[in-house]
């Protein structure tokens, strides 16, 4: 969330940022309501001063043994006016909040300005697609022939866009999770947590999924709880409404969770295989840092995610997202896309984002400066390290052989227990 004072003092900047993110918010109405709120607050302060004056008069009259009925009457009238104004202030503040929660975070000045994902900027590539003397198959053919992913049975159990991993396929999924967690813990120094897979509205609001993305989420209506779309939500909320010590920062968490997304607006796209499914596994990285180092930490976060693909020897590219493709809460974001030769596409396996103080302000996550004793909002970051379905796609398509087998990357062999999937 953006600070109301900041919006008031930087209205044109906020308008430009909102337009660049292709969001529609009535900022002029917000400023009008903010003016009303401040006028009401000034009026209430004046009445409170008047109430104090009348209260002193009552005390003086009582000391003199005189009748204080007149100032008591006036004080009661003032108190009634204050109560009425307080109700008006609450009504106006609710209207302000109802607009304010739809205002997106401001993109970083370096973020490319664009109108669609076509304006995203490729900033690097790593690795080369393996040379094959045969036509590579799409991953769903490879997986079905090996019997490691059962698309029909997943759909039978839960519906379209759900899958069942079977045999060595299930073990490959588990191996990737363990490999990624161990990698981030032992080589990058992250602290592992295992958070709830279901969260309340306040948690979803803190990280920016609500109110904008509610239709894309799975909701358990009886309890008003959401299945998490990403571990970013519960892990970021671990420190909601807390004041951290400066020497605790940076805090680096990693977590495995399943993720659940209805993706209501995505039907008709990527209908085959594992490219777009409603339940998937992911290993996440979340950072809580001091504001002055958050962009250095973003580069570190990106490098940590890239390192997973490098260890798996999968070719990838890094994309910096333009303003129109940035998420609601992000100020700057890099996507990592892995190459899948069977479907001949670059597939996103990680998004590494800096939210600056946007999520922290929503969730009231602060730290206390040792030098001043004052509290400030932390900056939060998160990145996938990595999302598994498309990593599995890349493994099956890049490591397939003309014999119909799949070579297991060396980094995974001790986790999977075999060198070749047959």
Catalytic residue among 37, 51, 361, 390: 390
User: Tokens at residue 415, please?
Assistant: 């986790």
381 contacts 286 by C-beta, under 8 angstroms: yes
Q: Biggest alpha carbon distance in the chain? A: 108
Active site residue 390: yes
CB atoms within 10 A of CB 124: 13
Active site residue 51: no
Catalytic residue among 351, 366, 384, 397: 351
Helices (DSSP H) in 69-150: which residue ranges? Answer: 69-100, 139-146
| CA within 13 Å, CB half, 29 | 13
354 contacts 294 by C-beta, under 8 angstroms: yes
The β-bridge relationship of strands 191-192 and 251-260 is parallel
Using CA atoms, how far apart are residues 236 and 243, in angstroms rounded to an integer? 14
Active site residue 269: no
User: Tokens at residue 362, please?
Assistant: 């929503």
Catalytic residue among 37, 51, 261, 262: 261
Using CA atoms, how far apart are residues 301 and 279, in angstroms rounded to an integer? 25
Catalytic residue among 16, 348, 368, 376: 348
Place of tokens 């260890």: 311
- In the three-class reduction of DSSP (H, G, I as helix; E, B as strand; rest coil), residue 32 is classed as helix
Q: Is the dihedral of CA 30, 35, 39, 45 positive or negative?
A: positive
349 contacts 387 by C-beta, under 8 angstroms: yes
Q: Which residues of 49-78 are buried (b: 16+ CB within 10 A; e: fewer)?
A: ebbeebeebbeebeeeeeebeebeebbeeb
Active site residue 70: no
* Residue partners of 299: CB distance under 8 A and separation at least 6: none
Catalytic residue among 8, 201, 276, 317: 276
Q: Does the N-terminal peptide bond of residue 211 adopt cis geometry, omega within 30 degrees of 0? A: yes
Q: Which of 148, 172, 152 is nearest to 162 (CA)?
A: 152
| CA within 13 Å, CB half, 164 | 13
Q: Which of 165, 168, 134 is nearest to 397 (CA)?
A: 134
Residue 207: which H helix or E strand, with range? helix 201-207
Active site residue 131: no
User: Tokens at residue 216, please?
Assistant: 């894309």
Using CA atoms, how far apart are residues 226 and 206, in angstroms rounded to an integer? 13
Residues forming the active site: 261, 276, 348, 351, 390
């Amino acid at each position: 969330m953006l600070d109301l004072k900041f919006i008031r003092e930087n209205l044109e900047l906020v308008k430009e940022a909102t337009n660049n993110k292709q969001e529609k918010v009535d900022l002029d109405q917000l400023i009008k309501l903010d003016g009303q709120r401040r006028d009401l607050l000034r009026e209430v302060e004046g009445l409170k001063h008047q109430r104090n004056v009348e209260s002193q008069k009552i005390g003086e009259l009582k000391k003199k043994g005189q009748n204080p009925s007149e100032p008591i009457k006036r004080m009661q009238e003032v108190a009634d006016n204050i109560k009425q104004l307080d109700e008006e202030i609450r009504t106006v503040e609710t209207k302000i909040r109802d607009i304010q929660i739809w205002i997106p975070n401001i993109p970083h000045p370096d973020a490319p300005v664009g109108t669609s994902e076509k304006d995203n900027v490729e900033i690097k590539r790593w690795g080369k697609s393996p040379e094959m003397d045969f036509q590579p198959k799409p991953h769903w053919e490879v997986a079905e022939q090996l019997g490691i992913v059962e698309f029909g049975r997943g759909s039978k159990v839960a519906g379209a866009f759900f899958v069942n991993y079977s045999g060595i396929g299930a073990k490959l999924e588990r191996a990737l999770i363990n490999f990624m967690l161990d990698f981030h813990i032992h080589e990058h120094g992250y602290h592992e947590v295992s958070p709830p897979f279901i969260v309340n509205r306040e948690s979803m609001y803190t990280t920016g999924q609500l109110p904008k993305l509610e239709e894309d989420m799975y909701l358990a209506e009886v309890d008003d709880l959401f299945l998490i779309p990403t571990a970013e939500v519960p892990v970021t909320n671990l420190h909601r409404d807390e004041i951290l010590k400066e020497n605790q920062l940076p805090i680096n968490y990693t977590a495995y969770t399943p993720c659940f997304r209805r993706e209501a607006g995505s039907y008709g796209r990527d209908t085959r295989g594992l490219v777009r499914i409603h339940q998937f596994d992911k290993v996440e990285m979340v950072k809580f840092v001091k504001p002055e180092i958050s962009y250095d930490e973003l580069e570190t976060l990106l490098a940590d995610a890239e390192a997973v693909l490098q260890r798996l020897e999968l070719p990838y590219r890094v994309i910096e997202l333009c303003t129109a493709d940035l998420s609601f809460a992000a100020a700057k974001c890099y996507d990592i896309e892995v190459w899948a030769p069977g479907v001949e596409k670059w597939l996103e396996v990680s998004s590494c984002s800096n939210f600056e103080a946007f999520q922290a302000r929503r969730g009231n996550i602060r730290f206390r400066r040792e030098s001043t004793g004052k509290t400030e909002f932390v900056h939060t970051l998160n990145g996938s390290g990595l999302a598994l379905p498309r990593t599995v796609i890349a493994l099956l398509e890049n490591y397939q052989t003309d014999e119909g087998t799949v070579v297991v990357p060396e980094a995974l062999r001790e986790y999977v227990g075999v060198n070749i999937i047959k």
